[in-house]
A and B are shown apart, each in its own frame.
Chain A
Amino acid sequence: MEFQLLIEQLLNGLQFGTMLFLMSAGLTLVFGVMGLINLAHGSFYMIGAFGAALFAEITGSFSIGLISSFIVAMFAGVITEILVIRKLYKKDHLDQVLATFALILIFSEGIRWLFGAYPLYLNIPAELNASVSLPLEIIYSKYRLLIIAIGILIAFFLYILTSKTLLGIRIKAGQNDREMISVLGVNIKTLYTIVFALGAALAGLSGALIGAIQSVEVGMGEPVLILAFVVIIIGGIGSIKGAFVGALLVGVTDTLGRFLLPELFKLFFDNADANLIGSSIASMSIYILMAIVLIFKPSGLFGERSA
């Protein structure tokens, strides 16, 4: 029993990790390619979730909801990039932090204006809202397995995109020398808009996928945003591979930490104290992980240069 529970928690960690990856992929690309700290990335997560809830309500189809989350967030990304973000590339990090902080306020209040202060619910279709039995007598939620599958699929797609396609080569080139690639005739402005919109769309999709498990509400993006930052710092800024490894590491550490640490402390303290200390430390565990990584490897696990 104990073993099945552990595997189940591990799968939960994987599911959490793959979602974090969807969120972090855009963040790390935008950060690596354009040198932009985008605090408003969490807003696209929220916008995607709201978009999915809205269109799933209208059409009655969950999959249309998911697809529209991707499209709605992508559109929001394009508009934001053209109106605001474009002006920030040449400014210093401090201005970027402030301006995108302001964007959070605008997006959050804007959504509250449109949809009201109450959370929306996005229902998982019945055929996914079930459990499947896996080998070794493990029973696990179908929907969460689907999330893991989507996450891995997108990771694979992004890997192909960044390493095998022309767009990926241009992105990489832009990361290294943005002047040279514009001299070579690549429209760097459009390239940046595409990268930004792709990142926003992925964040929107992950918002919709998670919004179906939790609830769709204003402010849902910010806690995830902070986690995504932890992921890309651990993985190394600008690296998709780093984001993937970092996301899984953070997802599994957080989930298993909450599960195992109280058990571990039970060896030393009585039950109540162990639960208290264990869960307190578990809630900090990923930040401790990040601090340790930064102390020993100041540019992250797969980071090449310090930004």
Chain B
Amino acid sequence: MMSEKKLNFLILIFLFLVPLFSILLNDIYITTLFSKIVILAIAGIGLNLILGYGGMVSFGHAAFFGLGGYVTGILAFHFNNYEPIQILIFEFEGTNQLLFVWIFTLIFSSLLALFIGYFSLRTTGVYFIMITLAFAQMLYYFSISWPTYGGEDGLSLSLRNQIPFLNTMDPITFFYICYVWLIIAIIFVKFILNSPLGISLKASKENDDRVRSVGINPKKVKLISFIISGAITGLAGSLYADLNRFVSPTILSWQMSGEIMILVILGGMFRLYGPILGAFFYIILEQFLGGITENWQFWLGFIILLEVLYAKAGIMSFLIKDKYDEKTSS
């Protein structure tokens, strides 16, 4: 047992040292695997902002993850074939500069989140779960039926996008890029949670009417949080596309939404670093079970089931003990 702060610190140190282990063990695959973990953790942190702290169960976060991936893929695609992107009368050049790619990703996923959030937040409870799912499914089927960018087959990137002075094709460099984004995401979400916005978000999860009675519009608070959440998850999607140098409709599928949700809950909601541990265990479990049996999903299902039925508060609660436990175990 240790304090949450200490555990968080250990997690960050451990992740920082991953490339070193990887070099010592002479297995560069470890670094790539952990890049995936870090990216999924970022997506999870994005979702957890509204899921854990805001009580909004979005079953459609693959929409943002996938959009980030596709923005990245499409920009690189147009950069490689020198065709400008046409949107109505406007024309854009493609780019392979990550800084631009990230900016575009953030803009587009925020706009998508504004759109989806605006309509979805009219509903609550089950209907909210289902309408967010519906929006993600729209994008999924659209990506399959629109042949320009590969349709069902997806879109390959010949090279990762670039940053000046860095070689992004080097797995260790790319890992640290993801790591830096993880730190930024953590600091940003922490800042949000301690700001008036975050406090009213947490309050509106408990009681909308009371929030309204002190003169704050809970819908607006939820919408802004939803947009931030979508943007963070979108950015993770962009990194994911660059990691694999490939995007396909799979990352827009409802299974992807489920996966992000599972790793948030596996790690422990209401905790900023929960999704990191969740992503870690999810991916390691997948690798481990995948190594020993072909039917690893069967056992993964069992483990998730046991976790939901008997250990609700998540992995982080096994490792630490503090005031949150009473709340999360109810």
Chain A residues engaging chain B, CB cutoff 8 angstroms: 31, 37, 84, 87, 91, 93-95, 97-99, 101-106, 108-110, 112-113, 222, 226, 229-230, 233, 237, 276, 279-280, 283-284, 287-288, 290-291, 294-295, 298-300, 306-307
Contact = CB atoms under 8 A, between A and B. Distances in A.
B297 interface: yes
Nearest to A283: B141
Contacts of B134: 230, 233, 287, 290-291, 294
A109 B297 CA distance: 6
B127 A287 contact: no
A135 B127 CA distance: 43
A303 B237 CA distance: 36
B214 interface: no
Interface string B297-324: 1101111110011001000000000000
Nearest to B129: A93
Interface stretch (B143-151, B179-187, B216-224): B143-151
B189 interface: no
Interface string B109-135: 000000000010011111101110111
Size category, B interface: 35 or more
A294 B131 CA distance: 8
Contact of B302 (A31, A93, A106): A106
A105 B300 contact: yes
B57 interface: yes
Given A94-B265, A99-B308, A102-B301, A291 B125 contact: no
Contacts of A91: 308
A288 B297 CA distance: 33
The main secondary structure of chain B at its interface with chain A is helix
14 contacts: A91-B308, A102-B302, A105-B300, A105-B301, A105-B304, A106-B302, A109-B298, A226-B137, A226-B254, A284-B138, A287-B137, A294-B134, A295-B119, A307-B126
Given A94-B57, A103-B301, A233-B127, 10 more contacts: A97-B59, A102-B305, A105-B300, A105-B304, A106-B302, A110-B298, A113-B295, A287-B138, A287-B141, A288-B138
B77 to A, nearest CB: 18
A255 to B, nearest CB: 15
A170 B12 CA distance: 55
B151 to A, nearest CB: 10
Given A37-B129, A291-B134, A306 B124 contact: yes
A179 B170 CA distance: 62
Contacts of A287: 134-135, 137-138, 141
Interface in B18-66: 51, 57, 59
A291 B145 contact: no
A91 B135 CA distance: 26
Contacts of A290: 130-131, 134
Top 10 nearest A-B pairs (CB, nearest first) are: A105-B301, A109-B298, A106-B301, A102-B304, A283-B141, A102-B305, A102-B301, A99-B308, A287-B138, A284-B138
A89 to B, nearest CB: 12
B305 A97 contact: no
Contact of A276 (B51, B147, B303): B147
Nearest to A290: B134
Contacts of B298: 105-106, 109-110, 113
B130 A233 contact: yes
Contacts of A226: 133, 137, 254
Contact of B261 (A98, A229, A291, A295): A98
Contact of B127 (A102, A106, A222, A294): A294
A101 B262 contact: yes
